[in-house]
Amino acid sequence: MSIRFDFANKNVVVTGGARGIGLQITRQFLEAGASVAVWDFAADSLASAKSELSAFGAKVSFQQVDVSKLASCEQAVAALPYNIDILVNNAGITRDKSFSKMSQEDFEAVIQTNLGGVFYVTKALLGKFNPDSNNKRIISISSVVALYGNFGQTNYVAAKAGVIGMTKTWSRELARKGFTANAIAPGFTLTPMVEAMPAEARKAIDDKIPTGRMGKPQDIANACLFLASDEATYITGTVLSVDGGLVC
Ligand SMILES: NC(=O)c1ccc[n+]([C@@H]2O[C@H](COP(=O)([O-])OP(=O)(O)OC[C@H]3O[C@@H](n4cnc5c(N)ncnc54)[C@H](O)[C@@H]3O)[C@@H](O)[C@H]2O)c1
């Protein structure tokens, strides 16, 4: 039996929802009946997502937002036509370099987007959650590297570990107000960036994963829809690894 989620009458914001994992999360929420506001920075990705998701009509809306700036998030909140039930903090960037070569700018850019962005978006949207719901959801996309470190990713690992810390704190602070707060830690996931890697490099990664393959965006989206569902109401403050057994 396949699990079918029903998000009719639920409103969702997905940051970084115009491409890659975020686009798949957006698509699956729409297919399950939700209304989704896509907040993304990149005009070209917003335009292509708009055309790809046109069949969903007014159920999907698109806003150009820079999650690394609180003012941009607040403007987007003011333009939202509805209260929300579910927030997915997915937008993220990388600026990989070994620690000895990593500049202050590389460090701050990634912290500002991947950690600051989760703080700013959630802060801006907190008062916009449906006050009548006891099933409010904050889901933030961290990474498997937050759990074990990674060469060349001091900035990214610090930000993604910070996301886990904020998630655990929010799970405590917001539980009595009807929220759960959880993080997902994807392993290597086949987005266009990874698909463009040489076949040998991809094979070397596949060989290190116990299940023998990288994740698909659907694998991450499936976990996200489960955590967003009413069935996951007693799960909060957790980090769900979706990594084919890479970290276990
Ligand atoms: N792909 C992987 O292997 C992998 C593994 C672990 C975690 N993740 C995490 O999953 C999330 C999605 O990754 P992806 O591979 O789909 O990446 P991606 O680069 O394909 O998509 C990221 C999206 O975020 C948007 N974005 C970036 N900066 C933004 C900003 N300041 N404001 C608004 N939008 C912004 C981009 O425009 C893009 O649409 C990220 O948080 C990433 O760190 C990815």
Could you tell me if the CB of 92 is within 6 A of ligand 1?
Answer: yes
Q: Give dist(CA 113, CA 163) in Å, integer.
A: 11
Give residue-wise pLDDT tens across range 113-160: 999 999 999 999 999 999 999 999 999 999 999 999 999 999 999 999
Entry pTM:
0.97
User: 215 CB less than 6 Å from ligand 1?
Assistant: no
Percentage of residues in the chain having pLDDT higher than 90: 92
11-187+215-242, which class in CATH?
alpha beta
Letter string b/e over residues 187-207, b meaning 16 or more CB atoms within 10 A of that residue's CB: bbbbbeeeeeeeeeebeeeee
d(CA 231, CA 117): 28
Query: What is the per-residue pLDDT for 42?
Result: 98
The parts of the chain modelled with pLDDT lower than 50 are 1
Whether the CB of 162 sits within 6 Å of ligand 1 = no
The span from the CA of 91 to the CA of 145, in Å, is 16
pLDDT for the residue numbered 1? 47
Q: What is the pLDDT of residue 3?
A: 74
Q: Where are the domains of the chain?
A: 11-187+215-242
Q: What percent of the chain has pLDDT above 70?
A: 99
Write a three-state SS string for the chain: CCCCCCCCCCEEEEECCCCHHHHHHHHHHHHCCCEEEEEECCHHHHHHHHHHCHHHHHHEEEEECCCCCHHHHHHHHHHCCCCECEEEECCCCCCCECHHHCCHHHHHHHHHHHHHHHHHHHHHHHHHECCCCCCEEEEEECCCHHHHCCCCEHHHHHHHHHHHHHHHHHHHHHHHHCEEEEEEEECCECCHHHHCCCHHHHHHHHHHCCCCCCECHHHHHHHHHHHHCHHHCCCCCCEEEECCCCCC
Atom number, ligand 1, closest to the C-alpha of residue 114: 41
Q: Which of 53, 93, 184 to mutate to test the pocket of ligand 1 (most atoms within 8 A of CB)?
A: 93
